[in-house]
Amino acid sequence: MTMSGIASPPPRHRRRKQSGWRGLLYIAPAMALVGVFFILPVLFTIWMSLHKWPLLGKPAWIGFGNYVRIVSDARFLTALGFTAHYTIIVTIAIFAVAFPLAIFVEKQRPLVSAYRTIIFLPVVVGLASASLLWVWLANVDSGLFAPRMQRLGLTSSRINLLADFDTAFLTIIVMVVWKIAGFTMIILLTGLQAIPAELTEAARIDGARRWQRFRYLTLPLMRRTMALALILSVTGSILAFDQFYIMTSGGPQNRMISVVYYIFNQSFVSFNLGYGAALSIALLAILVAISIFQLWLLKVGDERP
């Protein structure tokens, strides 16, 4: 097998690829879709953000008026603050659950693949379905948690988990961890399995304890994978919408309005389309900045030996 591979020159040197425009024909449908439903809308969003754009009636050019408004929009800044708070807490919670799970299911043992599959199941259902399921479980009268806690004597009466900010927030965090931890677990698992077993074995023989092996061997070698899992968790959390819309409708005293939720309200409830577009551009700028920072993080990971 190897011999014949060496004997015949690699096919890519033969330059048998057709050149010219025919290839463009094959990618034309994809480019048309991306053009019409992605690039055009992005440009259009920028254009709209420079207008006062009501649902009916003529849009009026107002230059950077919408952007000026963003900076002094207290409710948007609150939404931004809440989203940042949520992103940090949920990311820490997901990692705190997913990392031990990844280590738990790393070695091939009986039943391990069943555990992996079951832990992963919530990932494949929709966030909307998961939110609906949990809003029922968290319901004060017909749900699971409040009556269960009362019956166990933990609380004297049935407490309404979704009526108070802290408990509602906690419920949503638990729901999201239940929904997402399996995904992060699998990503981290690929990183764990990529660490050569000889390395861990050598460290063990050199007398490194379990914690030392984890701290000085596993963690540094997992840097790239952890950066990737972090990226996916952070960007996903910043775009959170379904859980707040479905589970708490913005939460007690409207304290659970995320950025996407706020843009949704501005654009499709109040129909300030121009302002909504400006907010979208702001969100986009934040995400691109985070993406660039994350790519830098990945690169830093590469440079380490």
Partner 1 sequence: MKTRREIRARKALRDRIAYHGIGIGTAFFFLAPFMIGFLASFRPSSESGWPPLPPWPLSGISFDAYRILDGFGSGVWQHTMNSLVVSLGTVVLTVAVSVLAGYGFSRYRFPFKNALFVLIIATLMIPFQSILTPLFIILARLGLNNSLFGLMLVYVTLQLPFSVFMMRNAFDAVPKEIEEAARIDGARDLKLLVRVLLPLVMPGVATVSIFAFLNAWNEFLAALVLLSSNENYTLPVLMMAVRAGRLGAINWGAVQAGVAVMVVPCLIVFLLLQRYYMRGLMAGAVK
Scanning residues 118 to 157, which ones bind partner 1 (CB under 8 A)?
Answer: 118-119, 121-122, 124-129, 132-137, 139, 141-144, 146-148, 151
Q: Which of 275, 251, 252 is nearest to 263 (CA)?
A: 275
- Name the maximum alpha-carbon separation found in the chain: 81
* Nearest distance in Å: CB 227, partner 1: 11
Residue 177, both tokens: 């961890």
* Nearest distance in Å: CB 214, partner 1: 18
104: contact with partner 1 by CB under 8 A:
yes
| Choice from 66, 171, 225, 237 touching partner 1 (CB under 8 A) | 225
Query: How many residues sit in the footprint of partner 1 (CB under 8 A)?
Result: 89
Contacts of 240 (CB under 8 A, 6+ apart): 83, 86, 87, 258, 260
101: contact with partner 1 by CB under 8 A:
yes
Q: What's the rounded Cα separation, in Å, for the pair 128 and 120?
A: 17
241: contact with partner 1 by CB under 8 A:
yes
* Nearest distance in Å: CB 50, partner 1: 13
| Choice from 2, 26, 56, 210 touching partner 1 (CB under 8 A) | 26
Which is nearer to partner 1, 10 or 305 (by Cβ)?
10
Which is nearer to partner 1, 125 or 202 (by Cβ)?
125
Q: Quick one: which segment of 15-23, 62-70, 199-207, 208-216 binds partner 1 (CB under 8 A)?
A: 15-23
* Nearest distance in Å: CB 14, partner 1: 8
CB 268 within 8 Å of CB 277: no
Q: Which of 134, 138, 113 is nearest to 125 (CA)?
A: 134
Residue 72, CB-side half-sphere exposure with 13 Å CA sphere: 4
* Nearest distance in Å: CB 277, partner 1: 6
96: contact with partner 1 by CB under 8 A:
no
Q: Is 46 exposed, middle or buried (0-12, 13-18, 19+ CB in 10 A)?
A: middle
Contacts of 230 (CB under 8 A, 6+ apart): 91, 95, 294, 297
| Choice from 4, 5, 9, 11 touching partner 1 (CB under 8 A) | 11
Helix, strand, or coil (residue 41): helix
| Choice from 90, 168, 172, 283 touching partner 1 (CB under 8 A) | 283
* Nearest distance in Å: CB 94, partner 1: 14
25: contact with partner 1 by CB under 8 A:
yes
Which is nearer to partner 1, 36 or 219 (by Cβ)?
36
29: contact with partner 1 by CB under 8 A:
yes
CB 176 within 8 Å of CB 166: no
CB 71 within 8 Å of CB 63: no
Helix, strand, or coil (residue 81): helix
Residue 266, both tokens: 């501005």
260: contact with partner 1 by CB under 8 A:
yes
Which is nearer to partner 1, 4 or 206 (by Cβ)?
4
The footprint of partner 1 on residues 168-207 (CB under 8 A) is 178, 182-183, 186-187, 190
User: What are residue 60's phi and psi, to 5 degrees?
Assistant: -120, 135
